[in-house]
Structure 1
């Protein structure tokens, strides 16, 4: 049982409430400003002491759990690269050195407060989701915890979906600076980045899907690009417009056996796209915004169910709220 007493002696830091715990051979002492803080601490400590006796939580750190999760679970995910970077960043934080038997939800609440001072709420939520998934796996598969320590913590408010679209002037400027010309083969990497931008706007394909496209999955006769594996784990057939076909024919002029269609890597596409933006003094544009631009254009031609099939969205609310951003002036014109 915990003993909580108010010490009438004056301490320089003002903490007058003393707590002493003796349980199962463990003795702990602490001082607090208020009785509530003292009671809360005593309850948490007694819980941890009892858990050491009754549960199977190993006497190891969060860092150990991260290492095991990366080696046994993350490595099998298609999102492994991004998740690994998030966990490597977490390993550098003091929270990674906390013993699993002493881990409290407050430890990660404090970590989250710090991260919110450094990166956007959306980035913090992605990191939080990875951490929570790790703890959930430790509960259900490894039986390390009785429950996920992050289970009852309120998630961050969701940021408003991006509505940024490409303007015609921006598209023209990006293609001009890329050096791509219809009457010349796209031999330079920068020119192929220009084609990738135009192709993305025509097809609504993601950057990863574009750079991973192979010639064996391009079917000119059917006007289809087949994607064997996409972000959501399913295959997809993407219809190709006449302009998309023309762009692929330009790439066919420099086709190399065994090489992907665009002959680009993720890092190359990202780096050169940033260079193009810098030349035009554009800061708030992402390559992924081509997806919103493409889907908004396509929505004027096909119904929403067909649009979802083209984009690969299985959740129509995400398609509607995040990617479809119609020009309401144009919609008003359609109404007559």
Structure 2
């Protein structure tokens, strides 16, 4: 148990747990509480006072349990960290952790996954190290800083034509009415994504409270970067949302994994190559760029830096030339 005593302008924290004790003085009660929580965790894990007892794997587990649930992409982080616990880097003691270990990790992973995937994993491990350094004081340096990153692959530029849209909607049994089956719900989400550039997870999370038909917008409460944003709706998007606006809670029943699997199955059934649901974001953004200026477009799709829109904007030379007449 931890106790906190105020002495003038400082706070003294004392921890007594499982026969061990520790105390320290801080400028604020919050700092004292955070320190006490960290010491209690170390005692429970058996690492308190043993600098070599904690491994990077222990750190990843702690991050997955206490930090990831509050972050955007929590599900991806939990799955990825669980997988990375099988990598040799998880066995390195924190007191011995160096940039060299992450360079070896990078080289190992590059033999099995793409450079883009490796960079995403390094970003996640960097966040783990940052917490260990700044919040938990378990590292005395950031071992990933200065690590040479692999070059990311060129961004995808996959466009979706009208024939492919029709074929996919047919495969998913789409009707111009409120979706009744899971397959029709996937088709509805696909069409909404083409109009709004919303991600699949954002669409599936929408509820009736997020929709404002008179104002012609829908609200994404928690986007990838953690911000809330309002998505203006085209006339076609309004038609699609009017099909489901009488549903009291979520618009769709289908879950993310099932929706992704059904979309892949439909793509295979109609023999469309190299298409992902996320490619709707490329297609939608490229279409919207003809109607909106760059700042409005960045706000709509949730990009804080308008320059990052170039990753998704994939107008062909012919399309650009047609606007020069």
TM-score, length of structure 1 as denominator length: 0.78
Could you tell me how far 1:274 is from its partner in structure 2?
Answer: 0.9
Partner Cα separation in structure 2 for residue 334 and residue 187 of structure 1: 41
Which residue in the other structure is 2:100 paired with? Answer: 106
Q: Does 1:327 pair with 2:321?
A: no
Gap runs ≥5 in structure 1:
1-54
Which residue in the other structure is 1:71 paired with? Answer: 65
Partner Cα separation in structure 1 for residue 113 and residue 215 of structure 2: 45
Q: Is the deviation greater in 215-224 or in 100-109? A: 100-109
Could you tell me how far 1:95 is from its partner in structure 2?
Answer: 2.1
Instruction: Report if aligned partners of 2:95, 2:139 keep a CA contact under 8 Å in 1.
Output: no
| Bigger Rg over Cα | 1
Give the superposed CA RMSD.
1.8
Q: Does 1:157 pair with 2:147?
A: no
Which residue in the other structure is 1:304 paired with? Answer: 294
Partner Cα separation in structure 2 for residue 246 and residue 267 of structure 1: 26
Could you tell me how far 1:330 is from its partner in structure 2?
Answer: 2.2
Partner Cα separation in structure 2 for residue 268 and residue 249 of structure 1: 24
Which residue in the other structure is 2:138 paired with? Answer: 144
Match of 1:266 among 256, 260, 270: 256
Q: Does 1:313 pair with 2:303?
A: yes
Which residue in the other structure is 1:277 paired with? Answer: 267
Q: How many residues align?
A: 277
Give CA-to-partner distance per residue, 1:257-314, whole Å, 9 cap, x none.
33x1122221121111111111122341111111111111111112111111211211
Give CA-to-partner distance per residue, 1:58-93, whole Å, 9 cap, x none.
532122111222222222212211111111111112
Partner Cα separation in structure 2 for residue 75 and residue 186 of structure 1: 32
* Distance change (3 Å), C-alpha of 1:143 and 1:309: same
Gap runs ≥5 in structure 2:
1-48
Could you tell me how far 1:57 is from its partner in structure 2?
Answer: 4.3
Match of 1:287 among 277, 280, 301: 277
Which residue in the other structure is 2:222 paired with? Answer: 229
Match of 2:203 among 196, 200, 210: 210
Give CA-to-partner distance per residue, 1:118-138, whole Å, 9 cap, x none.
111111111111111111221
Which residue in the other structure is 2:90 paired with? Answer: 96
- Matched ranges for 1:252-263 at <5 A: 252=245, 255-258=246-249, 260-263=250-253
Which residue in the other structure is 1:117 paired with? Answer: 111
